[in-house]
Chain A
Amino acid sequence: MTTGAFVKILDGNTFVVSDANGDIDASLTDATGLFSFDTRYLSKWLLTIDGQRLNALSTDDLNYFEARFFLVPGTGTVYVDAKLSVIRQRAVGDGFHEELTLLNHNEKPVELTVRFDAASDFADLFEVKDALAKKGTYSTVVDHGELVLGYQRETFSRATRISSSVPAKVDEQGLTFKLRIEPHGEWKTNIDVVTAGLVASGAVESRTRYARNGGHGRSSMEENLERWLGTAPRIQCSWDPLRATYRRSLVDLAALRFSPPIAGGKSLPAAGLPWFMTMFGRDSIFTSLQALPFKPELAAATIQTLGSWQGTRVDDFRDEDPGRILHELRYGELPAFEERPHSPYFGSADATPLYVVLLDEYERWTGDTKLVREFEHEARAALNWIDQYADLMGNGYIWYQRRNEETGLENQCWKDSWDSISYRDGRIPSFPRATCEIQGYAYDAKVRGARLARLVWKDAALADRLEREAAELKRRFNRDFWVESDEYFALALDTEGKQVDALSSNIGHLLWSGIVDTSKAKAVARHLMGPRLFSGWGVRTLAAGEGRYNPIGYHVGTVWPFDCSFIAWGLRRYGFKEEAARIAAGILDAAEFFDGRLPEAFGGYERSVTRYPVEYPTACSPQAWSTGAPLLLLRTMLGLEPIGDNLVVDPTLPAGLGYLELLDIPGRWGRIDAFGRERVEAEPPTGLRRQLGSTPAPRSSRQRARRRT
């Protein structure tokens, strides 16, 4: 994964960020290094030959977990043929493994001094972001030919052990090799950098997966990736970029899998690479929902892991309540010393109802009632949280206000930046706040909870109560949030019960949740597809014309692929198939500009003005829920819906897709194929290139579902 000059490789939450030479030379605020469990284990890793740094000829990302650097000494000018080639092949495991190969192209033997300089600042990820000073002590020890870098603060201890297959002269700053290579000969050594810590005191044993003599160490991870791709549904369609985007999404989703020690070997989606390779309630749930028709096992792992970590007590520092689903878990020094609340932190108002939504949607696809029974207690506790702990104003809505005022999160909805929730005139409401989409999730959680109560938990009284509460919530919501004058739902309610009346993409999530009165749905869809919200690529987070609208403002005007994928699902839910297809067309078109890897967000500029989607610069790529967006859009375009034990297929495809076939969709039916051919005109041609949805074609519609045995 190459971003600019940086090369990133990773496995789970261990990752290496280096320059194009493979070198690391980090300052405290600089985000390069070897990281594991939110701690930097190497901040310096410099290769020199005869005292000189090398020059990169090329860098290959072989896979998300390995990279190869071709280097030469000297100036790197093309006018002088190098007589020496240097190849660093690096694979990340629990730490990393580096195979260094030197090739002598000369007719004469050469004698060389090869040196790796190594050091670590053991910075916590939060320190790298905020440039904080360390409170512990460092050590450097040479131990039986190994270099051991250590850090200790009270009982908190982390260490990096560096060793090589060819004996090196080891000093406290690194490893030196004195060597001679015969004419046209080669020299090779394997280096292991092993992280130890979170648990030198007994927990996670860390040993690099790549045995020194194994050299490549690729097999198990490569096989794992191939198996992952091989068991996913296959796609066939006449529009090549969609096939590429689909494959990119699956590969990135594989890279985003994360198996924390408490997950019992199961993998759930982390939030983003590389800084958010950890459990996030909201992101893991949304991504699992997007991936359900393709990789239902992600949802199962998310349900199990988030359920096990569910809140059980009242803790203001962590914003924890009984029944609440966590927001984020971190393993570094600052959470360990309670200087940050992420052990875990619970400040999210939407993850808890969404947990119930995921549990139900998972059962609808897989028929796995065993898991639903197993997590009955957690689902009930989550439903209970909605009424017992989240209704801060006592009026039947979910409100949020952090109790940890120092390091807690202010905005506990997905639009978590400080200015994301505003009135039309740009004013910002006080706390607590009740944003509209969270009420939708709560409604959906009650409806789905009722279904599970009846079907699996055999508790008709609970089901009746939840249905009654859901109907009541829907009635109230359609009254209190509806902006009568312009016919849309307000972004939030303020503490006085007044509408925070900006027009936003959140109304699309309301369609997805089903809380919208049928009589109001058409007006909502009209706003979503209207010029103030729809950019031509997707739906803006905040409508053009609002006080805080800014086409490159993080949550106040940019277009988020994840957001759009749920909006498309919502449009389908209320029967707006062609509108959903237009959004799918815009986002999938945009994906092509990014080689199939959708960014977290792109600018809200009018498509006809910029002609290409302007990427919003963020540190993380890929982001899990952007990676999941094309998957959910495939579902919405094909109109896939589990009904009873069958998968219903009801395709509405944008023009330009021609036909679309998804083969071997897993679910309670075994494996089923879905096929669609249709046309929806998405956008008039802009002249840049042929765009999805832009080719007028005679209207035709076909659908088919084939059961595989």
Chain B
Amino acid sequence: MMSDTVAASDAATAFFEERGRRGRESLLAKGRGTVCVELTNGTETQPWLVTIDRGDVKVLQGTGHADCTLRTSRELFEQIVTGEVNAVAAILRGAIGITGNWQLLVLFQRLFPGPPKTSAATADTGATGSSG
């Protein structure tokens, strides 16, 4: 999860930077490939490249080869990375454009958190199993 000190308008940047800092993500242990996330804001497009290699995650800001590309507004993406909007539902309603490898997409969406107001008992997002 991103730090609380990051301003809401930077939630997307915080999400990518946090992923880059963590480096290793057991949820993506099966994944291999590069996901490009294109964030649009009016006429401006900001691309992020997330390269996954068997659980090792590298994040770059910029363009390059991608196996799967997600294109969406920065506003919607920020709602996704704060758990306010569900990514799969957003894809189903066409709010996120997808090209390329869907299997990689299914893995990548594991990184998005659940909704913020959820049952208190077990709200430890991301902690699945004990393997690495």
Contact = CB atoms under 8 A, between A and B. Distances in A.
A381 B30 CA distance: 14
Given A202-B98, A343-B88, A383 B114 contact: no
B116 to A, nearest CB: 11
Contacts of B95: 154-155, 201
Interface string A345-380: 000000000000000000000000000001111101
Interface string B90-132: 0111111111001101110010111100110011111111110
Interface in A398-456: 403
B79 interface: no
B30 A374 contact: yes
Which DSSP category, helix, strand, loop or mixed, fits chain B's interface?
loop
A337 B93 contact: yes
A242 to B, nearest CB: 39
A382 B125 CA distance: 15
B40 interface: no
B58 interface: no
**Most chain A CB neighbours (cut-off 10 Å) among B105, B107, B131:** B131
A156 interface: yes
Interface string A109-134: 00000000000000000000000000
A126 B59 CA distance: 40
A315 B89 contact: no
Interface size class of B (residues with CB under 8 A): 35 or more
B79 to A, nearest CB: 12
A596 interface: no
Contacts of A261: 102
B76 to A, nearest CB: 9
Interface size class of A (residues with CB under 8 A): 35 or more
Given A200-B94, A309-B106, A338 B131 contact: no
Given A316-B118, A388-B122, A403-B119, A331 B92 contact: yes
A335 interface: yes
B102 A203 contact: yes
A323 B81 CA distance: 20
Given A202-B71, A316-B119, A336 B105 contact: no
B131 A380 contact: yes
A338 B89 contact: yes
B92 to A, nearest CB: 4
Nearest to A308: B106
Contact of A335 (B89, B98, B115, B125): B89
A313 B89 contact: no
A384 interface: yes
Nearest to A462: B130
Contact of B92 (A198, A200, A383): A198
Nearest to B26: A377
A312 B127 CA distance: 7
Interface string A146-166: 000000011111000000000
B66 interface: no
Interface string A580-607: 0000000000000000000000000000
A312 B30 contact: no
Contacts of A157: 94
A380 B118 contact: no
A314 B122 contact: yes
A262 B106 contact: yes
Contacts of A316: 115, 118-119
A314 B94 CA distance: 24
Contacts of A93: none
Contacts of A156: 92-94
Contacts of A332: 92
Contact of B130 (A320, A343, A384): A384
Given A313-B113, A331-B92, A202 B30 contact: no
A376 B30 CA distance: 10
A697 to B, nearest CB: 54
Nearest to B125: A313
B27 interface: yes
Interface in B7-45: 26-27, 29-30
Given A376-B131, A388-B122, A403-B119, A155 B114 contact: no
Nearest to B103: A264
Contact of A201 (B94, B106, B126): B94
A659 interface: no
Contacts of A314: 114, 118-119, 122-125
B96 to A, nearest CB: 8
A308 B103 contact: yes
A203 B103 contact: no
Nearest to B85: A338
Contacts of B128: 310-312, 322-323, 377, 381, 384
A332 B92 CA distance: 7
A389 interface: yes
Contact of B129 (A336, A374, A383): A383
B110 A312 contact: yes
A210 B124 CA distance: 49
Contacts of A378: 129
A308 B128 CA distance: 13
A389 B122 contact: yes
Contact of A203 (B29, B83, B99, B122): B99
A156 B127 CA distance: 33
Contact of B29 (A322, A323, A377): A377
Interface of A: 153-157, 198-203, 261-264, 308-318, 320-323, 331-333, 335-338, 343-344, 374-378, 380-384, 388-389, 403
Given A203-B91, A315-B86, A336-B89, 19 more contacts: A155-B95, A202-B71, A203-B102, A309-B106, A313-B126, A314-B114, A314-B125, A315-B115, A322-B128, A335-B89, A336-B94, A338-B89, A375-B30, A377-B27, A380-B130, A380-B131, A381-B129, A384-B128, A389-B122
Top 5 nearest A-B pairs (CB, nearest first) are A313-B114, A381-B129, A336-B93, A336-B92, A202-B97
